[in-house]
Amino acid sequence: MRQYETFELQFVGEVLTADYAVIPLVAEFTNSAESKKVYGFYDGEGVYKIRFLPEKPGEYIWKVSGAVNAEGHEICEAADGEHHGLVKAVDTHFEFEDGKLFVPFGTTVYALAHQENALVEQTLQTLKAAPFNKVRMCVFPKDYDYNHNEPPYYAFEKKADGSWDVNRPCLAFWHRFEAILDRITDMGIQVDLILFHPYDRWGFDTMSQKDNLTYLNYLLRRLSAKPGIWWSLANEYDLSQGKSLSDWDEIERYVAENDPYGHLLSCHNCFCFWDAERPNITHASIQTKALTELPRWIDKYKKPVIIDECCYEGNLPHFWGSISAQEMVYRFWRCVASGAYCTHGETFLAEDEVLWWAKGGLLKGESPERIAFLRELVESLPGPLTSLANGGMLTLAQMNDEEMETALEPVPEKLRDFVRSIAASMRRMEVDDRTAHIAGEHEWAAHAGEDAYLWFNDRQCFGEQTLPLPEDKRYRVELIDVWNMTRTVLEENARGATKLRLPGKEGLAVLATRID
């Protein structure tokens, strides 16, 4: 047993052929500080397994009861330095349990596990060389444009009437699925595991709520002790035809309550965002292109925000699947320079219908190389980035008179009437018009305390720019060409208001890092 690594107990017992999803099998792991109860699962052919994730080193005693009765003890060695535990949300960023910062640079391969072995192998090889440290993928197979194939296995056996028997998980599926998950997490890539999704022709999206919970029960018994997995309740929960909002509430609660370790937990929207202020939700996992609103949402949720779909690099005849590599790279920079995180996807038309976003295979686009450049830059910073903006103009429009006067206190007297008149003008607008009108205006700026400041100038072609650096610190200022991946030092020893001459083109960023 070693800290942050899955510990497994295995027993042989009665062979089960029906109702083996939710079995009476529980274990208690106790160390000097606490006792944790975990449920075991049936793994076929009379094999019963219990998995446990030790989060502290030291001695554990364990006691198994139910279908199997046994007890024992283990010395848990301290972490080996290569395993860091679960990723957790800390304020508006992520850290592993050992305190190591985790900055998500995700990609999307929804139906990764539902492809033939050769394609899965190719996908894993591609991931190994790619700059991504998180992959969004589904438990259930995908039915959609370019996704017409049958998967090798399904999560359940079928009843005589052809419907899914959630009480009989298909063990061939789970063995293969777990092996793929393990291969991915062993590469240091987090699996953002999508538990339900609406793109379905098999009936997985329209199971009864009782069956939904049985499925989750078995999945949580099997997978909870694996530290590299996050729970994404759904891809586009709001397009599901089979579940009401109260069903989703219950699913969220059920996952949170039956996960002994508190894996990251979120729920991904198509339109209406799942409310990230809910206590069980650890971070926002949003689909949107409205990236200017990120500081406002981060400020509201006070949790990390990942833009898990911002459209995909590709050439499909769909808005969501036809952004350029450049635009994909810019969206990553917009997120990062807002103190948020972004997720990649790729959708190029292909004769063989193998599109990375669903099936994996090879990456064909030009964005991953630039995302690698950005990731390297971000990981070299002394801490997590948070936005320098405070919600900006839209927040101003939303204030009432009292909030406005409080906000005006630091504003010089002679400017206050001007700000009041701007706010009054915005408040007269219909909310839809106002938001559409204001939301485009944005400075993408973030900082790591006073140690680093990052401005992404996006498509603005500034010929000059004045950085408001602290007066009492010293900074190296670099100009970054986000597409051409160059970094040029503009100032070696800057402080205070620092005026830069810039080349007046799109796609530049400015990074100031402290040197004293």
Stretch that binds a copy of itself, among 89-97, 182-190, 380-388, 457-465 (CB under 8 A): 457-465
Q: What are phi and psi of 180, to 5 degrees?
A: -65, -45
Pairing state between β 497-501 and 134-138: unpaired
Greatest pairwise CA separation for the chain in angstroms? 83
For 33-92, strand residue ranges (E) read 35-39, 41-42, 47-52, 58-66, 70-76, 87-90
CA distance 7 to 2: 8
Contact 76, 59 (CB under 8 A): yes
Q: What is the DSSP string of 335-359?
A: HHTTT-EEE--EE---TT---HHHH
Contact 316, 297 (CB under 8 A): no
CA distance 504 to 175: 55
CA distance 51 to 10: 9
Assess 290 for contact with a copy of itself (CB under 8 A): yes
CB of 349 to a copy of itself, least distance (A): 5
Find the binder of a copy of itself among 12, 61, 172, 436 (CB under 8 A).
436
Residue with smaller CB distance to a copy of itself, 371 or 394: 394
Find the binder of a copy of itself among 149, 439, 485, 513 (CB under 8 A).
439
Find the binder of a copy of itself among 9, 251, 374, 438 (CB under 8 A).
438
Residue with smaller CB distance to a copy of itself, 70 or 349: 349
Q: Look-up: residue for tokens 């017992």?
A: 13
3-state secondary structure of 397: helix
Stretch that binds a copy of itself, among 97-105, 354-362, 376-384, 461-469 (CB under 8 A): 461-469
Find the binder of a copy of itself among 69, 406, 466, 484 (CB under 8 A).
466
Contact 7, 30 (CB under 8 A): no
- Provide the mask over 475-514, with x wherever binding to a copy of itself is found by CB under 8 A and - wherever it is not: ---------------------------x-xxx--------
Assess 16 for contact with a copy of itself (CB under 8 A): no
Assess 65 for contact with a copy of itself (CB under 8 A): no
CA distance 20 to 165: 11
CB of 237 to a copy of itself, least distance (A): 9
Assess 309 for contact with a copy of itself (CB under 8 A): no
Assess 472 for contact with a copy of itself (CB under 8 A): no
Assess 143 for contact with a copy of itself (CB under 8 A): no
Residues 6+ apart with CB under 8 A from 253: 280
Stretch that binds a copy of itself, among 16-24, 52-60, 254-262, 287-295 (CB under 8 A): 287-295
Assess 459 for contact with a copy of itself (CB under 8 A): yes
Stretch that binds a copy of itself, among 4-12, 31-39, 72-80, 435-443 (CB under 8 A): 435-443
Contact 390, 295 (CB under 8 A): yes
Assess 428 for contact with a copy of itself (CB under 8 A): yes
Residue with smaller CB distance to a copy of itself, 163 or 466: 466
Which amino acid, 52?
F
Residues 6+ apart with CB under 8 A from 118: none
- b/e string for 138-166 if b means 16 or more Cβ within 10 A? bbbbbbeebbebebebbbbbeeeeeebbb
Sheet holding 41-42, edge to edge: 7-12, 47-52, 41-42
Stretch that binds a copy of itself, among 81-89, 123-131, 134-142, 464-472 (CB under 8 A): 464-472
Find the binder of a copy of itself among 16, 182, 273, 372 (CB under 8 A).
273
Assess 433 for contact with a copy of itself (CB under 8 A): yes
Contact 240, 205 (CB under 8 A): yes
Find the binder of a copy of itself among 277, 418, 486, 496 (CB under 8 A).
418
Binding residues with a copy of itself: total (CB under 8 A): 61
Residue with smaller CB distance to a copy of itself, 307 or 336: 307
Find the binder of a copy of itself among 36, 176, 289, 364 (CB under 8 A).
289
Q: Look-up: residue for tokens 């089960």?
A: 16
CB of 354 to a copy of itself, least distance (A): 15
Assess 225 for contact with a copy of itself (CB under 8 A): no
CA distance 298 to 386: 9
Find the binder of a copy of itself among 5, 97, 293, 308 (CB under 8 A).
293
The residues binding a copy of itself (CB under 8 A) are 238-239, 241, 269-273, 288-290, 292-293, 297, 314-317, 319, 322-324, 326-327, 348-349, 394, 398, 417-418, 421-422, 425-426, 428-429, 431-443, 459-466, 502, 504-506
